[in-house]
């Protein structure tokens, strides 16, 4: 019997991460049947219990094949990854398997079993490495410097190769830094937002720990690495809209996904502490142990192709993004202060588990 589907069926890998959250909400609002994968168990009532979750490791070939066979998606959004470039040095083999080989296995499965299925692959501006190019777009030379960047470059190129060779609808979004209140604390944006919120509430010490295993705000100070790095910071909610547009477009292709504006980490601090009326220079200090030996010092997207071909425009600018993040951290901290939970143990935010999306 031929199955007639009324609704489109999407599979989102790494669905429990920041981007998965926004994308699943978007797809549900567009009437999709959503299947989501997570590496670890998730609360089934998330997203109003409207998502069918599958839990397991994508690097397990049998699990991956069963996942694709059982869900039979019309569209796959491959967001699962070791998502922290700095941590990819600690787990380089897992990074290569999950970030590079899994996308290839998905392409191979699509080629053999689901040729009508469309793929969005989450590529990254880390594929450019420490570039000196003023603006980066789809043509910019890839020169990644970390196991993360190298694994993402492999995935980017193999997806493009399968698209060329087999004429399949496989696309990559080269995602520049994208943040939100759902960002884990071990990314610089949320680390700053958290410290700025705590300082605004008059706190000098937070329970949550930083990469060094010390409180994120300690003695009223936030310790950071290189604050001169400039990044193109966008809002994750805007980025998932780009993902959907890319998959809906008649022709598959690669797109740079970023705002086109760059800000330094120092500017992020300035904007974040300003939300509470504070002078960031009194609260931020440098700890050289947080400097990265390999880093991308400057990223700024040229999103012209995405804008002209698909009409994408980010709705949240840098200022609004920072304010949104700091205000949400203030709300969370006030809730926790109100519950007089001051005796709870310090919380590490940099566990191995948090390396994944």
Ligand X SMILES: C[C@H]1O[C@H](OP(=O)(O)OP(=O)(O)OC[C@H]2O[C@@H](n3cnc4c(=O)[nH]c(N)nc43)[C@H](O)[C@@H]2O)[C@@H](O)[C@@H](O)C1=O
Catalytic center residues: 124, 126, 148
Total residues contacting ligand X by CB under 6 A comes to 23
Minimum distance of ligand X from residue 305's CB (angstroms):
18
Asked if 356 and 80 count as a contact pair (C-beta separation under 8 A), the reply is yes
Q: Does 142 bind ligand X (CB under 6 A)?
A: no
Minimum distance of ligand X from residue 189's CB (angstroms):
6
Alpha-helix residue ranges (DSSP H) falling in 15-136: 18-29, 61-71, 92-96, 102-113
Looking only at the bridges linking them, the beta strands covering 178-179 and 234-235 are: parallel
Residue of 13, 71, 83, 259 interacting with ligand X (CB under 6 A): 83
Give the footprint of ligand X on residues 237-276 (CB under 6 A). 265
Q: Which helix (H) or strand (E) holds 166?
A: helix 147-166
| CA–CA gap between residue 7 and residue 302 (Å, rounded) | 35
| CA–CA gap between residue 159 and residue 57 (Å, rounded) | 21
Q: Which is nearer to ligand X, 67 or 81 (CB)?
A: 81
Give the footprint of ligand X on residues 156-185 (CB under 6 A). 175-177
Q: Which is nearer to ligand X, 189 or 300 (CB)?
A: 189
How buried is 150 (Cβ within 10 angstroms: 0-12 exposed, 13-18 middle, 19+ buried)? buried
**Phi and psi of 318, rounded to 5°?**
-55, -50
Q: Does 226 bind ligand X (CB under 6 A)?
A: yes
Q: Which is nearer to ligand X, 71 or 299 (CB)?
A: 299
Give the footprint of ligand X on residues 305-344 (CB under 6 A). none
Token pair, residue 21, equals 């959250």
Q: Does 188 bind ligand X (CB under 6 A)?
A: yes
Residues that bind ligand X (CB under 6 A): 83, 85-86, 124-126, 175-177, 186-189, 191, 224-226, 229, 231, 265, 290, 292, 295
């Amino acid at each position: 019997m031929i199955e007639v589907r009324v609704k489109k069926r999407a599979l989102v890998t790494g669905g429990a991460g920041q981007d998965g959250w926004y994308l699943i909400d978007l797809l549900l609002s567009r009437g999709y049947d959503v299947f989501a994968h997570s590496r670890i168990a998730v609360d089934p009532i998330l997203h109003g219990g409207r998502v069918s979750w599958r839990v397991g490791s994508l690097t397990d070939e049998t699990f991956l094949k069963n996942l694709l066979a059982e869900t039979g998606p019309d569209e796959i959004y491959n967001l699962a990854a070791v998502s922290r470039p700095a941590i990819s040095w600690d787990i380089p083999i897992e990074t290569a398997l999950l970030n590079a080989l899994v996308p290839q296995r998905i392409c191979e499965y699509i080629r053999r079993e689901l040729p009508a299925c469309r793929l969005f692959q989450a590529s990254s501006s880390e594929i450019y490495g420490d570039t000196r190019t003023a603006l980066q777009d789809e043509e910019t030379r890839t020169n990644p410097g970390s196991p993360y960047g190298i694994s993402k470059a492999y995935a980017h190129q193999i997806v493009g190769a399968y698209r060329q060779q087999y004429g399949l609808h496989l696309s990559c979004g080269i995602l520049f830094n994208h943040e939100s209140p759902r960002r884990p604390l071990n990314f610089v944006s949320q680390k700053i937002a958290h410290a700025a919120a705590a300082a605004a509430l008059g706190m000098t010490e937070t329970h949550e720990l930083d990469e060094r295993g010390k409180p994120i705000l300690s003695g009223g100070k936030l310790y950071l690495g290189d604050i001169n790095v400039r990044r193109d910071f966008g809002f994750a909610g805007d980025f998932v809209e780009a993902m959907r547009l890319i998959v809906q477009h008649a022709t598959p292709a690669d797109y740079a996904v970023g705002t086109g504006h760059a800000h330094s980490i120092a500017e992020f601090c300035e904007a974040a502490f300003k939300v509470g009326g504070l002078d960031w220079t009194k609260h931020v200090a440098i700890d050289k142990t947080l400097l990265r030996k390999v880093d991308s010092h400057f990223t700024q997207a040229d999103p012209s192709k995405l804008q002209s071909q698909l009409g994408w425009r980010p709705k949240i600018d840098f200022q609004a993004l920072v304010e949104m993040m700091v205000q949400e951290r203030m709300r969370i901290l006030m809730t926790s202060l109100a519950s007089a939970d001051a005796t709870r143990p310090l919380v590490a935010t940099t566990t191995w588990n948090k390396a994944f999306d």
